[in-house]
Structure 1
């Protein structure tokens, strides 16, 4: 937010007024709607949810964000998956489904694939589990950037002067000696005193380093990135608002719905749209389907949850980030069990030049 303000960009609040839709527990389970920050679940499940958030946030508060290896019981926490923690601390299947869905929406992956310590560190840095999931004040989904977040990159490029920015210039190798570093790219070489590698770990792993960087290489090769297919679907009007819905839909993988979450994406000028994510195991399944089949499944689910008006869309656009060569997935890299306590310092520690 500080950078957005510094660059003079404008934000507007994520629309979240009205009924939200919640559907977990299988294709035949009941579709619930609610207007509070918590789903309209049974008292037992709500108690289960409250205790789970309390226990997780309490443990998260013990994490040393700057050096997670100094966290009490770090090795034990890093040796456990988030999936195991969920199964040990959630009583009801409905809550397990909810947390699994939230994990897909935030990380693009399944709880069984990430270290519990990594999840706790990520949550602590954000201010708690709720901040990762909600669109309430102070949470991750609170604001949208007017005109799109691409402006962040464009404004920063202007700061350093576009003449100093090279596009379409993939880095193949970095050679270094005691005095210089040479960056070999697809269009030529560059010589410098220092090199900052700022691309995601899984992409940094594709660069050849001479001399080799053993610890860094092991770390970057074992930090997979999440898998998300993002879609946006536009309409002539925001019919869901007229019907009292916020546009937010949360679904579990076992419901048969392709996406795990949607939000209202109507622009400040009134162009009506919904944005959604197909993530984790749902993305793994649907990435192998034809685009037309995915679109049909998405629209069918929107009709199921919001009504027949959802079928009268103007345009449907999607992006499978796993198929993008220089992204390889989204939104973040995760750490599998055992990595954080032993290799985390290698992400920051300089390696020569």
Structure 2
């Protein structure tokens, strides 16, 4: 077998094995899972997620997901917990302990301490009969038959299963809280994701100049207005009402159709009934309109009055596209 064929075969087998294991997790979503979700939902404290080794890495990811979807959470490393960090756990907190085997030495030391504090303990483990599984108040079963590792040693499928159960937990809580896209935006203000959720047309137009001419403006001055305002477009206004738009494309078509531009007015080359968008509309919706109509600019309006221009380059710069 060629090396490339061997690589492809191994990769596909890994994905297939993990996919089968993840699909099997549906069989473990039971009444105990429901009770665990409910007790977190009703809790006035935080969720403290702990683990060691690869499970600690998964714990960090689950904490990040819970925090970003409305469930206050914090990570506590199991090894550090038994050397002072146990003070992280407060009276009303719920502790989720992640361990594939449920029998590691650190877990066996940590679990009785948590139980002594009378905190609810939820186990996320692949072994219900382990020390952790038996001591926990609730068990979230993430059992996998084997790892993707050919030696069945390196945590691969098992850590994927842990993450999936964590995601299922977070999404259940999200739904119970009625967590909306507006809530999501509050926790994700940075990056393109956040901007898609909160950036509005008015935030774009406020950064741009506002090109405008009248219907009787001569074409030469209309071209100057388009050039100076650097948006490749100008609105045509009459009595403060939008009656048309002139784009770079209109200018090119005019030059193609007319040998002489002297005497031509804005009204002679403008396009009537231009596409507009309200100032308080999300910027990502402006992108949808631009793409639908295959145009580069939109005129923004506020209370029916011209307010500025949104250019596709603005959206690219903001990371919306």
Work out whether the TM-score is over 0.5. no
Kindly indicate which of the two structures has a greater share of residues assigned to helix: 2
After TM superposition, the score normalised by the length of structure 2 is 0.19
After TM superposition, the score normalised by the length of structure 1 is 0.18
More relative contact order in 1 or in 2 (CA 8 Å, sep 6+)?
1
- Which structure has the greater CA radius of gyration? 2
